[in-house]
Structure 1
């Protein structure tokens, strides 16, 4: 049975969401791509990192498995964002959470922390490493569906 507090949380998605992680190369761009596929088209969604990162080919591989792509998108830092107004900042790593709290302390912006494992810590075969990236992808998908989706099928097109 669903928790009644979940219904209230899911009743309205924010209009502008920023996903943040350390280098904007794995977790936050993955969350951005997934959120774009699940949230209403009018929702502004971006991602950034605290530091400069490089695009990770494993992200492309696990997103492609579910029919998503980053396109030509490259990692960016907070300073490189085109827009800086967000209703909600979702942080996926401790470093990003601290930076977001500092960045938003004078603004009325909600900050949520979704602890998300770093798949680059995985070792082993290519398949074992891909499995760690899939775990992150699936975790982010569940989080977005649970906390941000409106629940209206027409909005999830």
Structure 2
């Protein structure tokens, strides 16, 4: 729903990749902004500003060199959408922290875990701003 994992990944990627790299996230279905995402990104000095969740149909650009999916449904949809295109699709299985129940601290820990795992994966895949590969 482009409310948790994907917006986190988008903002983290913006921090790791050069400004010349176009980064966008979208979900399969519409969703609502998640306040826990704002909280865990703020802990890293990051902010989604006025960005709201969006669907694939709402993306302004539909040409990408690489699509990274974080959930099975999104991965299947990306493969369907790109089956006749020369686009690389990678699947990074990522836990859904919204399934966590418990105290606020336990829920935030789940969100932090997703944030930190995404950040590590982005850094591993793309490196730093100075050494990142340039893709659209």
TM-score (norm 1): 0.82
Distance in 1 separating the partners of 2:61 and 2:132:
27
| Paired residues of 2:97 and 2:110 also in contact (CA < 8 A) | yes
Matches within 5 A, 1:45-124: 45-124=23-102
Larger radius of gyration: 1
- What is the CA deviation profile of residues 104-130 of structure 1, one whole-angstrom value per residue up to 9, with x for unaligned ones? 000000000000000011111000000
RMSD: 1.5
SS at match of 1:47: coil
Displacement of 1:148 in angstroms is 1.6
Distance in 2 separating the partners of 1:69 and 1:43:
19
SS at match of 2:89: strand
Question: Where do 5+ consecutive residues of structure 1 fail to align?
Answer: 1-22
Question: Where do 5+ consecutive residues of structure 2 fail to align?
Answer: none
| Paired residues of 2:18 and 2:130 also in contact (CA < 8 A) | no
Which residue number in structure 1 is paired with residue 105 of structure 2? 127
Distance in 2 separating the partners of 1:153 and 1:84:
26
Distance in 1 separating the partners of 2:41 and 2:100:
18
